[in-house]
Amino acid sequence: MSASTEDSGGRVVVTSTRQLLLPTNTSYLQEFELHTEVHSVSRGPSDGEPRQWRGVKIEALLSRVEAGDRWTHLLVTGSDGYRACVSLDTAFDALLAVERPDVQQEPTLPRFVGAELDGTESVASVDRIETIKLDPDESASEYASRPTTDS
């Protein structure tokens, strides 16, 4: 049995020129081709084991919301407020994973993963994906946020 968002009934808002409310339950994703890929998610020295992820290509989501050439970056926000700002060139081949075929439970779904993403750009429990345009003098790091935890 695989870990998925089957029972959660979750949704991800994908927004650009148009907006899409994407269900994360795989039974509602028939209009999208689901891909299974192996990616490492590394945030520390002991992390980084390659894992299987199954989901929708970001390219497919962006075409659905009519993301055009005027956008330069993708903001991906998790339910905890964690946010990554990734160039569209990097994000284009990434995946919004809604299932882990190789494990029974995965609390971080849906998850933004991809071969070109570093550990800080992989976002867990994704709530929102949106396109933005950065000026040449702006840095993507200005748009990223890392929630602070109370000690």
The whole-number pLDDT of residue 5 equals 47
The whole-number pLDDT of residue 47 equals 61
The whole-number pLDDT of residue 3 equals 53
148: Cα separation from own chain's centroid: 21
The whole-number pLDDT of residue 88 equals 93
Q: Which tokens hold the place of 123?
A: 């976002």
Secondary structure (H, E, C), the chain: CCEECCCCCCEEEEECCCEEEEECCHHHCCCCCEEEEEEECCCCCCCCCEEEEEEEEHHHHHHHCCCCCCCCEEEEEECCCCEEEEEHHHHCCCEEEEEECCCCCCCCCCEEECCCCCCCCCECCEEEEEEECCCCCCCHHHCCECCCCCC
The whole-number pLDDT of residue 151 equals 44
pLDDT along the chain (151 residues), means of 10: 52 91 87 92 66 94 88 95 94 94 86 91 95 93 78 44
